[in-house]
């Protein structure tokens, strides 16, 4: 595993496992497969309704809490609701802390919600805090009006939307860039058939998905692919045995369409900030 170092020194695996739309009932079973494949970073969210399944899987795995990096996302607006929501999330997880807590998307009172995350950090309820789906303007508001610079911004990022504009801002502020939908969800199949991607896969004896994940992780972009297919779960994790050259990485930048696969959320459109 390779790691990125967050702005407070905490190390985060550059590859994790996503749980969007993983049904609460099958989450524990699904995560057992991911943990057995070697994943040690799990991305969940209050909105996914599966934090309890993540906790159950962790317990059943026999792994120590500190061996697995767990991220969750708050979806409440304002200080009091967010503070209470974090405690409820911890209760569902069955742990006294998260490794990373992020605000799922900007809300009218993001600044107040963020204060609850800052308090959770101070109280040891999480090891790091950050945001998701925040554009540069949304981040500017937090940075200018709070004490702690977010450690991470989790935003849609893949070959078709490389987020070069946001990336420059994040690098400038030492905020880790995390990719949601690193395989572009429903557009993934099309991306995996691109002749340039297939040629690289054939050169390195790997799959197109592995090339696409390596393309991100070699640029220090944290990727959290999701799969329900055991073969995909295993191969998505097995990406550290080869490296693309910098010329190959550059050659893939031409596929950037500079837009979301589903135009969500609209604040992230490149002309919105």
**Residues engaged in binding ligand NAP (CB under 6 A):** 18-20, 43, 104, 132-133, 154, 180-185, 188, 207, 209, 224-229, 232, 235-236
Phi, psi torsion values for 180, nearest 5 degrees: -95, 155
Nearest approach, Cβ of 187 to ligand NAP (angstroms)? Answer: 9
Nearest approach, Cβ of 224 to ligand NAP (angstroms)? Answer: 5
Nearest approach, Cβ of 184 to ligand NAP (angstroms)? Answer: 5
Residue among 8 and 229 whose Cβ is closer to ligand NAP = 229
Query: Which are the contacts of 257, defined by CB distance < 8 A and separation ≥ 6?
Result: 160, 161
User: Which residue of this chain has its Cβ atom nearest to ligand NAP in the complex?
Assistant: 18
Residue among 22 and 56 whose Cβ is closer to ligand NAP = 22
Residue among 123 and 190 whose Cβ is closer to ligand NAP = 190
Residue among 20 and 79 whose Cβ is closer to ligand NAP = 20
DSSP state of 17: E
Residue among 95 and 132 whose Cβ is closer to ligand NAP = 132
Decide: 170 and 178 in contact? Cβ < 8 Å. Answer: no
Rounded to an integer, what distance in angstroms lies between the CA atom of residue 54 and that of residue 92? 9
Confirm whether 48 is a catalytic residue.
Answer: yes
Decide: 25 and 49 in contact? Cβ < 8 Å. Answer: no
Strands of the chain, DSSP E: 3-5, 11-13, 17-18, 41-43, 69-74, 100-103, 129-132, 152-156, 176-180, 222-223
Nearest approach, Cβ of 192 to ligand NAP (angstroms)? Answer: 6
Name the catalytic one among 48, 114, 160, 169: 48
Rounded to an integer, what distance in angstroms lies between the CA atom of residue 4 and that of residue 7? 10
Q: What is the DSSP string of 155-200?
A: EE-BTTB--HHHHHHHHHTT-EEEEESTT-GGGHHHHHT-HHHHHH
Nearest approach, Cβ of 73 to ligand NAP (angstroms)? Answer: 6
Positions annotated as catalytic residues are: 48
């Amino acid at each position: 595993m390779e790691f990125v170092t967050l702005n407070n020194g905490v190390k985060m695996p550059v590859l994790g496992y996503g749980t969007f739309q993983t049904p609460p009932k099958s989450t524990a079973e699904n995560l057992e497969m991911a943990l057995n494949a070697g994943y040690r970073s799990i991305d969940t969210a209050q909105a996914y309704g599966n934090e309890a399944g993540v906790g159950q899987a962790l317990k059943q795995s026999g792994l120590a809490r500190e061996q697995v990096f767990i991220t969750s996302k708050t979806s409440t607006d304002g200080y009091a609701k967010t503070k209470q929501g974090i405690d409820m999330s911890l209760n569902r997880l069955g742990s006294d802390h998260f490794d990373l807590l992020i605000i799922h998307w900007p809300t009218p009172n993001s600044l107040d919600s963020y204060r609850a995350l800052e308090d959770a950090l101070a109280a040891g309820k999480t090891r790091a805090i950050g945001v998701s789906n925040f554009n540069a303007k949304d981040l500017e508001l937090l940075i200018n009006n709070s004490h702690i610079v977010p450690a991470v911004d989790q935003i849609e990022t893949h070959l078709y939307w490389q987020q070069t504009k946001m990336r420059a801002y994040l690098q400038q502020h030492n905020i880790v860039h995390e990719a949601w939908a690193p395989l572009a969800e429903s557009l993934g199949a099309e991306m995996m058939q691109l002749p340039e991607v297939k040629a690289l896969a054939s050169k390195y004896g790997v799959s197109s998905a592995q090339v696409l994940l390596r393309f991100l992780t070699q640029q220090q972009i944290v990727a959290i692919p999701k799969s329900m297919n055991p073969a995909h779960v295993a191969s998505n994790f097995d990406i550290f045995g080869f490296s693309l050259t910098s010329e190959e990485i550059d050659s893939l930048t031409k596929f950037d369409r500079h837009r979301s696969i589903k135009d969500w959320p609209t604040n992230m459109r490149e002309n919105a900030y």
